[in-house]
Amino acid sequence: MKSFKTMQKGLALALLRVVSGLFLIVGTAYAQAPDQSTPDGLIKAVVSDVMASVKSDPEIQKGNIPRIVDLVDKKIVPHTDMRRTTEMAMGPNWKKASPEQQTQLVAEFKTLLIRTYSGALSQLRDQTVQFKPLRAAPDDNQVVVKTVVLGHGDPVPLDYRLEKTATGWKVYDMNIMGVWLVEAYRNQFANQISQNGVDGLVKFLQERNKQLASAKPVN
C-alpha cells in the first residue's frame, strides 16, 4: 500500500498537470458573468475570478506560496464545504471523533489541501478548460460538473462534486484523472486512526502541515 506522503505527492503531481487548465479560461468565452446560482456557473465564475487575480499579481506568478495560499483561502475555499469533505474522507471514523476533534480535523485537512496544491497555481501555462453540458434535473441537490483540460498532451478530465446548501452550491470533492480526492485520503486516514486513534491523525496532519509550511517552493 502506498504511503500517505507518496499518495499525496502523486495527487499533487496530477493536479500540477491539470490545474493550469482549471484557471486558464479564454477571457472572451465568458464576457457575460456566469450565473453563480447554478453549479456550472459557479465553477466558471470562480475560475474567472482566480485567473484575474493570478494575472494581476506578479508575486503569485513567481511562486510566492504564502500569497497563493491567501488567494486560495479567499477565492476558492468559500465555495467549498470542507466539513463535508473531511467527514467523507473520515468515513465511519468521523463518528468516533469528538466535536473538538472534528473541528481540528476540518481545520488541519483544509490547511493540508491548500498547502499541498497551492503551488500548482504558479505553474500556469497555455492550457484551456472545456466545460461539458451539465446533466442534472432542476431539483437535484447534488451534481457533478465535468470539465476537460486541453493543452499539451492528451485531454485530461477534471470533475467536481457539488451540493446545494442553504448558502448556495458548494464543492466537496474533485476527480483528478479518475481519482476522487475523498477516496484517495480515506484509506490513509483509516490507517492512521487504527494505529494511533483520532488524536494520532490530528497530530499527523499537524506535523505534515508544518513540513509543507517550511518547504521551499519549487519553480
Q: Break the chain into its structural domains and give their ranges.
A: 4-214
Q: Return the exposure string of 41-68: e unless at least 16 CB atoms fall within 10 Å of the residue's CB, then b.
A: bbbbbbbbbbbebbeeeeebbebbbebb
Query: Distances in Å between the alpha carbon of 216 and those of 62, 64, 193?
Result: 13, 10, 30
Q: Report the range of poorest mean pLDDT among 13-22, 81-90, 127-136, 207-216.
A: 13-22
What does the pLDDT average to over 168-173?
95
Is the pLDDT score of 208 beyond 70?
yes
Which of 27-41, 58-72, 73-87, 146-160: highest mean pLDDT? 73-87
Q: Between the CA atoms of 78, 84, 89 and 95, what dihedral angle is there, to the nearest 10 degrees? A: 140
pLDDT band at 2 (very low <50, low <70, confident <90, very high): low
Is the pLDDT score of 161 beyond 90?
yes
pLDDT of residue 117: 73
27 or 143, which is more confident:
143
State pLDDT tens for residues 13-51. 445 444 444 444 333 344 456 678 899 999 988 877 877
Mean pLDDT of the chain: 81
What does the pLDDT average to over 186-198?
95
Q: In whole angstroms, what is the distance from residue 119 CA to residue 217 CA?
A: 7
- Is 128 in contact with 150 (CB distance < 8 Å)? yes
CATH fold label, 4-214: Nuclear Transport Factor 2; Chain: A, (3.10.450)
Query: Distances in Å between the alpha carbon of 125 and those of 22, 121, 206?
Result: 11, 10, 32
pLDDT of residue 93: 97
pLDDT of residue 78: 93
pLDDT band at 140 (very low <50, low <70, confident <90, very high): very high
pLDDT band at 149 (very low <50, low <70, confident <90, very high): confident
% helix / strand / coil in the chain, to the nearest 5?
Answer: 60, 15, 25
pLDDT band at 125 (very low <50, low <70, confident <90, very high): low
Q: In whole angstroms, what is the distance from residue 56 CA to residue 49 CA?
A: 11
Measured at the alpha carbon of residue 71, what is the angle toward residues 219 and 10, in degrees to the nearest 5? 50
Is the pLDDT score of 81 beyond 90?
yes
| Nearest residue to 158 via CA among 4, 6, 23 | 23
What does the pLDDT average to over 67-87?
92
pLDDT of residue 24: 40
